[in-house]
Amino acid sequence: MTDSPDRHFSAPLLRAEIRAGRFRGPTAGLGGEALQANLVILPGVAASDFVRYCLANPRPCPLLAVGEPGDPSLPTLGADIDLRYDLPRYRVWRDGMLAEEPGDIAALWQDDMVSFALGCSFSFEDALTRAGIPVRHQDADRNVPMYRTNLATRPAGRFSGPLVVSMRPMPAADAIEAVRICSHFPLAHGAPVHLGDPSQIGIADIFTPDYGDTPDIRPGDIPVFWACGVTPQAAIAAARPHLAITHAPGHMLVTDIPASHAERRLTGVLPA
């Protein structure tokens, strides 16, 4: 198994490595400027409520694509995508409880399943790096740290729950530039939702994330927080659908769409 594929792999080649089972790690820093996506798969009976939840909460849940029922492809994001195999690691939820984290979901696929691809903050990290802003978790070869906050999302139907955020520490002088850069990536959560004191958004211990790895915070850094696509997993735990499938935090679908072109390329994500 590949510990870390070449960072210059194209998105299709990276997906091929994942589909073959040769890579199962986090996708931060991989695929160049390719748009990366969080994944939620739900039975059809829950799909309309989840669409409404995403539309009510566009910062943590920016919709990139919605699949047809029973179809594991997302042709607007890549010609050969197969959601049953193309993420490094999945999470399987049963009645709101995390049941397993498999490397593929072929045995679980059902004819009524509807897939949702949501924007991911990994998509703007290439732009931060090119601007000389450090991306500490990439430098340390770690997963990004993520935290549940005391900020509530807007409920829709059966779905509700807290906002989850990802955090990237950086020198204070870089934070304003990071805000400017990320504001150009609304389909990747856009600008940060909070800078500075984590206790103000309900995070008691910055060194103990709820998901991902311990942060690499250096002298002079401040924590910068973005809305995160793990937010729907907290909503799934509260809604308790009989079956749901998501990405494992940090283990994304890498699409063929350049993140910088996503706003022009992705229109009409909801199927007719």
Express each pLDDT in 218-256 by its tens digit. 999 999 999 999 999 999 999 999 999 999 999 999 999
Q: Which two tokens stand for residue 106?
A: 């072929």
Domain boundaries, the chain: 11-120+239-259, 123-227
The CATH H-level superfamily of 123-227 is PSTPO5379-like domain (3.30.2040.10)
86 contact partners, CB below 8 Å, separation of at least 6: 15, 18, 19, 253
Name residue 165's beta-bridge partners: 147, 227
- Residue 56 — φ and ψ, nearest 5°? -80, -20
Give the CATH number of domain 11-120+239-259; options: 3.30.465.10, 3.40.1640.10, 2.40.30.10, 3.40.50.300: 3.40.1640.10
**How far is residue 180 CA from its own chain's centroid?**
21
Name residue 118's beta-bridge partners: 38, 63
User: The pTM is what?
Assistant: 0.90
pLDDT of residue 260: 73
Task: Quote the CA–CA distance of 260 and 6 in Å, as a whole number.
Answer: 22
Task: Quote the CA–CA distance of 148 and 190 in Å, as a whole number.
Answer: 18
Nearest to 209 by CA among 164, 172, 171, 162: 164
Neighbours of 4 (CB within 10 A): 11
Express each pLDDT in 33-65 by its tens digit. 889 999 999 999 999 999 999 999 999 999 999
Confidence band of 4 (pLDDT split at 50, 70, 90): low
Q: Which two tokens stand for residue 217?
A: 């915070």
Give residue for tokens 């903050």.
121
